């Protein structure tokens, strides 16, 4: 099981590097989908099945729709792929940075994994269900702030991808 989680973590890093190193939004959307799916798989593997399912639906159902819309507005005739020279340099740089950070942290924390429901016979409720209830009760204000920040990010991304075209208001 440990090898399975390490494979998931490697796929998560590869997906995030694919998002960070790509100038073309088409390929970054693929990296974002891989990172979201694998990250939710890691959560499910640790016992947070409800949290993993909610995040998977939010990431792929909401944010990727916005990302696909902004990618359609920023259409490029010849997008740079992962095999281009400039993108390869970013990929190598990010992978060396992540690998160096992991190597430095590995000695401090080791390779221990803690599952939410490790002591099942001592729990009355599941760990992810009580976490969800705490998130909505105590963290309700932060959820409202996060919703406003996501709405602001939507407008910023749409304004950046619009460019100089003014839609129906442009002069003929």
Q: Residue 154 to residues 1, 87, 100, 151: CA-CA distances in angstroms? A: 39, 26, 34, 5
- φ/ψ of 141, rounded to 5, equals -65, -40
89-135 residue pLDDT tens: 888 888 899 888 888 887 766 656 655 556 666 666 666 666 677 77
CATH class of the domain whose range is 2-166: mainly alpha
Average pLDDT over residues 20-49: 80
Which is it for the CA torsion 51, 54, 60, 65, positive or negative? negative
User: What pLDDT does residue 119 have?
Assistant: 60
143-157 residue pLDDT tens: 888 889 888 887 877
User: What pLDDT does residue 60 have?
Assistant: 75
Q: What angle do CA 49, 50, 54 make, to 5 degrees?
A: 120
Distance CA 60, CA 2 (A): 27
pLDDT at 81 over 80: no
Please tell me which residue, 142 or 165, carries the higher pLDDT value.
142
Q: What is the chain's mean pLDDT, rounded?
A: 75
In the chain, domain spans: 2-166
What is the token pair recorded at 168?
A: 């129906």
DSSP state of 121: G
Please tell me which residue, 79 or 146, carries the higher pLDDT value.
146
Distance CA 159, CA 86 (A): 27
pLDDT cut 90: percent of the chain above it: 1
Distance CA 92, CA 82 (A): 11
How many C-beta atoms surround the C-beta of residue 19 within 10 A? 20
41-63 residue pLDDT tens: 888 887 777 778 888 888 777 77
């Amino acid at each position: 099981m440990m090898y399975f989680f390490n494979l998931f973590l490697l796929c998560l890093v590869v997906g995030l590097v694919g998002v960070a190193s790509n100038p073309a939004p088409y390929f970054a959307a693929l990296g974002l989908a891989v990172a979201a799916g694998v990250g939710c798989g890691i959560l499910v593997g640790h016992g947070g099945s409800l949290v993993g399912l909610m995040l998977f639906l939010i990431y792929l159902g909401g944010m990727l729709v916005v990302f696909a819309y902004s990618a359609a507005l920023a259409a490029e005739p010849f997008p740079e792929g992962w095999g281009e020279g400039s993108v390869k340099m970013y990929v190598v740089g990010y992978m060396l940075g992540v690998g160096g950070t992991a190597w430095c942290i590995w000695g401090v924390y080791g390779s221990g994994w803690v599952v939410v429901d490790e002591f099942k016979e001592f729990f009355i409720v599941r760990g992810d269900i009580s976490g969800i209830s705490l998130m909505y009760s105590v963290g309700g204000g932060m959820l409202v702030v996060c919703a406003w920040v996501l709405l602001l990010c939507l407008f910023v991304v749409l304004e950046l991808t619009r460019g100089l075209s003014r839609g129906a208001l442009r002069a003929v």
